[in-house]
Copies of this chain bind each other. A is one copy, B any other.
Amino acid sequence: MHKFEEKTIKTKPLYKGKVISLQVDDVLLPDGKEAKREIIKHPGAVCVIALTEDKKIILVEQYRKALERPLVEVPAGKLEAGEVPELSAKRELEEETGYRPGRMTHVQSFYTSPGFADEIVHVFLAEDLVKVDDGLTVDDDEFVELMEVTIEEAEQLLKEERIYDAKTMWALQYVRLNDLV
């Protein structure tokens, strides 16, 4: 047991939605006092650093309702129930971009918002891409636009704040640090 562990006294489920659920836990703190923790449960997600043969990075632009603005991001998607992350990453990449990877490597996983959510993102590197269709075979309620950019162009999108999310910024740093393009 970790010395700072917070024991659950009571869990109150407040909402169960299509993607997320919300609960409030009463916890026992290390000093014996009590506190409340608001917690979002999320199924987890995958994202893909997909590099074309001519060293371009594949990105997708989509509208993000939570932010009331579009964002340019690495291809990503939620894990389906029971789905292995690597297969999920292959599926999302092919659905959103039409590319099927010859090689798919898990490079990192991270929690996105540990203060209030259990969402984890598994990052994959996709190489030796083969174009199998036009892509954009996405869910009914998804509208995405495909982009293929150089690392310099991606960094320009970041400066313009069109790229503005943690996973995509981490991915661009990863490409730079490992001289992938």
- A153-181 contact mask (Cβ, 8 Å, vs B): 1 or 0: 00000000000111101100110110000
From residue 77 to 125 of chain A, which have CB atoms closer than 8 A to chain B? 78, 108-119, 121
Copies of this chain held together in the complex: 2
**A115 to B109 Cα, complex, angstroms:** 17
> Is B15 within 8 A of A37, CB to CB?
no
- Of all chain B residues, the one with the shortest Cβ separation from A158 is B108
**A16 to B49 Cα, complex, angstroms:** 36
**A35 to B70 Cα, complex, angstroms:** 17
> Is B67 within 8 A of A118, CB to CB?
yes
* Interface range, A side: 35 or more
How near does chain B come to A59, taking the closest CB pair, in angstroms? 14
**A17 to B115 Cα, complex, angstroms:** 14
Known contacts: A15-B14, A18-B36, A18-B38. The answer to whether A4 contacts B166 by CB under 8 A is no
Which interface residue of A36, A65, A143, A145 has the most chain B CB atoms within 10 A? A65
From residue 23 to 50 of chain A, which have CB atoms closer than 8 A to chain B? 24-25, 27, 29-31, 33, 35-40, 42, 45
**A145 to B140 Cα, complex, angstroms:** 46
- Of all chain B residues, the one with the shortest Cβ separation from A2 is B70
**A25 to B65 Cα, complex, angstroms:** 9
In this assembly, does A71 line the interface, its C-beta being within 8 Å of a C-beta of chain B? yes
- Of all chain B residues, the one with the shortest Cβ separation from A21 is B38
In this assembly, does A127 line the interface, its C-beta being within 8 Å of a C-beta of chain B? no
Contact partners of A20 in chain B: CB under 8 A: 38, 40, 116
- Of all chain B residues, the one with the shortest Cβ separation from A37 is B65
Question: Can you pick out 12 interface pairs between chain A and chain B where the beta carbons lie within 8 Å of each other?
Answer: A2-B70, A4-B63, A6-B65, A15-B22, A18-B36, A29-B141, A33-B141, A35-B140, A37-B65, A40-B40, A67-B118, A108-B169
